[in-house]
Structure 1
Amino acid sequence: MPDETLGAAVDKLTATIASRGSASPGDSYTAKLLAGGPEACARKFGEEAIEAIVEAVRGDKERLADEAADVIYHLLVLLAAADTPPAAVASALARRRGMSGLEEKARR
């Protein structure tokens, strides 16, 4: 098992997604997803999220980790399709740091 942080893995995956965005949809799964636009990417993200939920409820930690990896990949593809850089998500998380979830929800 690689000794890599989630942040480092996400950074590498983000770069890979960006590099494959200009590939032919026939040659790259990522390019195929991006060609479908935000709507298609959102639908696939939702499917993967449901699969992760199922594995969490079943209690299968290995399968949950696999499905969570799919969720993260598909979220990053969705962000790319919606022209929203992961840095925007990092900024949103930074703004919320130190704030309770209840307080954050009340501010929306």
Structure 2
Amino acid sequence: MHQRNQQRVQSNVADQDQQAPPSYTAKLLAGGVDRIAKKVGEEAAEVIIAAKNRNSDELVYEVADLIYHTLVLLEDQQIALESVWKELERRASHTP
């Protein structure tokens, strides 16, 4: 994903917390880490099932859900997506 798109998606997650009536994102954030983490776990399981079924359309859909819910979790924890990318870059630079 291009950096511009990454920032737009993360910004959209943060902005949805301010909408009225409350958006799905706002409701997730209001539910706290337990609710968000539960959704991340559910979506991860759905990614696994889609992969095992070898259904590429379903897999793309479920990975998008997993990424979205992970972004909500990062927002809840006040962690910028940029921190995740920096960690991935750090790991890549240490790979033999």
What TM-score, normalized to structure 2? 0.88
- Note the alpha carbon deviations across 1:47-103, whole angstroms, 9 max, x for none: 001001100000000000000000000000010011111111111112111333xx8
- Structure-1 separation of matches of 2:12 and 2:6: 10
Cross-structure match for 1:106: none
Letter in 2 for 1:47: E
Shift of 1:40: 1.1
Letter in 2 for 1:48: E
The number of equivalent residue pairs is 95
Taking only the aligned residue pairs, the percentage that are identical comes to 37
1:74/1:11 CA distance change after superposition, 3 Å: same
Computing the radius of gyration from Cα coordinates, the structure with the larger value is 1
What TM-score, normalized to structure 1? 0.79
Letter in 1 for 2:12: T
Query: What root-mean-square deviation, in Å, do the aligned CA atoms of Structure 1 and Structure 2 show?
Result: 1.6
1:15 aligns with 2:11: yes
| Structure number with higher relative contact order (C-alpha < 8 Å, ≥ 6 residues apart) | 2
Q: Tell me, which stretches of 5 or more residues in structure 2 are unaligned?
A: none
- Structure-2 separation of matches of 1:91 and 1:38: 23
Shift of 1:9: 3.8
